[in-house]
Amino acid sequence: MNSCFDSTLRHHAANLSIVYRTALLAASLALCALQIQAQEKPPALPSAVTADATPAATPQPATTQPQTSVPSIPATDTGTADVTANGGGSGFVLKTFVPEVSLIFTVTDNKGRFVTGLQQQNFGLLDDGRRPTRVIRFTQQANLPLRIGIMLDTSNSIRSRFQFEQDAASEFLLQVLRRGDSAFVTGFDVRVELAQDYTNNIDLLNNAIHKLRPGGGTAFYDALYTTCRDQMLTVKEQGDIRKAIVIVSDGEDNYSRAYEQDAIKECQRGETIVYAISTNVSPSKDKGDAVLERITEATGGRTFFPNKIEDVAQGFHAIEEELRSQYSLRYRPADLKQDGTFRSIYLVALDSRFKVRAKKGYFSPRAPQQ
């Protein structure tokens, strides 16, 4: 088992505190042990494995569900399952909290190229400083349904380059949307305009993009906060999906009532990856570029910096490629309470040549009101 992780884990552990070093070692041990165990007996599902300290129960065929199983739910939902019991001719429903976290992430090499085909034992994971109690599923799922929003800065500061942004955004949606995906379009200056709600119709999305007109100041934080609240937090669907926003802006803000951290937290609550394409084409980065980088890093995305405005399309192309090169992980965290607090995520590739990009954490669900 040591040969599976020992040398690479020591490289990463050298940069961690004693507490994180011990916890990450335990997490990696569990992940590697599962791979050995999987060779001795088949898992319950083709891509489902457990990381419990206790021995796993007898595996069941993929088409058979145990009587005690409950439906999978996102960590941001209430996380309850109904269990009905009958007694004396009447029944009652017991609400059981079943916390699960869905994590979408990307892996690149030291040259920024996407790395695919890695397995569960190639990673170490800590949730709020502790290893998860159960890894439910690990897979590369480039075809998970996509819910994506395009946010175009329509303030006066981008007037001269707005048409390039519109054309690039339209082409991006034409290339990235597939059956089962849907997208929306917003423009923002001092107000947020929802030009087109969720749809898979490319013509409607294209028309919405090209009917936007630049003018006014910039309330960037307000726009991002409002969009995540109204368009991402409201998405409730069965099964795993990916939620992302692509922002085309210089990152400047001179009109918001919300703060940068307010916008970031709302994106994290909405389980949304944020990508940004900077419209600042000057030789050096400015304050707005730093804002874009902080927002995208916190949510698991990244910021692109075209050399000239005509290269905005290259940023969209890079995002399109990334969306089709992602991994999906679903796990059960240790000691998750329904208190609405923020829990950090630390996901690392045990091979030092690879870099993992994922959201920095999530907000635990709050207990439902009685």
Task: State the pLDDT confidence band at 345, using cuts at 50, 70 and 90.
Answer: very high
Strand segments (E) across the chain: 80-87, 90-97, 101-108, 123-127, 134-139, 146-153, 182-188, 192-199, 242-249, 273-278, 303-304, 327-332, 342-349, 355-357, 361-363
Superfamily in which the 146-323 domain is placed by CATH: von Willebrand factor, type A domain (3.40.50.410)
Q: Is the pLDDT of residue 7 over 80?
A: no
Burial class (CB in 10 A: 0-12, 13-18, 19+), 67: exposed
Mean pLDDT on 264-287: 94
- Rounded to whole angstroms, the Cα distance separating 69 from 83 reads 10
pLDDT digits (tens, 9 = 90+) for 192-251: 999 999 999 999 999 999 999 998 899 999 999 999 999 999 998 888 899 999 999 999
Q: Say which residues have a Cβ less than 8 Å from residue 110's Cβ, sequence separation at least 6.
A: 353, 355
pLDDT tens profile 95-144:
566 789 999 999 999 999 999 999 999 999 999 999 999 999 999 866 78
pLDDT tens per residue across span 160-183: 789 989 999 999 999 999 999 999
Judge whether residue 82 has pLDDT over 60.
Answer: no
Q: 81: pLDDT confidence band, cut at 50, 70 and 90? A: very low
Helix axes of 220-227 and 260-269: crossing angle, nearest 10 degrees: 10
- Per cent of the chain over pLDDT 90 is 64
CA distance 163 to 346: 40
More confident residue, 157 or 218: 218
Amino acid at 23: A
User: Taking all residues of the chain, what is their mean pLDDT, rounded to a whole number?
Assistant: 80
Please tell me the predicted confidence (pLDDT) of residue 95.
53
Query: In terms of residues, how long is the chain?
Result: 370
3-state secondary structure at position 116: coil
pTM to 2 decimals?
Answer: 0.77
Of 270, 287, 25, 247, give the one whose Cα is nearest residue 130. Answer: 25
Domain segments of the chain: what residues? 2-53+93-142+336-363, 146-323
Parallel/antiparallel/unpaired status of strands 327-332 and 342-349: unpaired
Question: Mind listing the pLDDT tens digit for each residue in 33-62?
Answer: 444 343 333 332 233 333 333 333 333 333
Residue among 105, 232, 248 at smallest CA distance from 171: 248
pLDDT for the residue numbered 171: 96
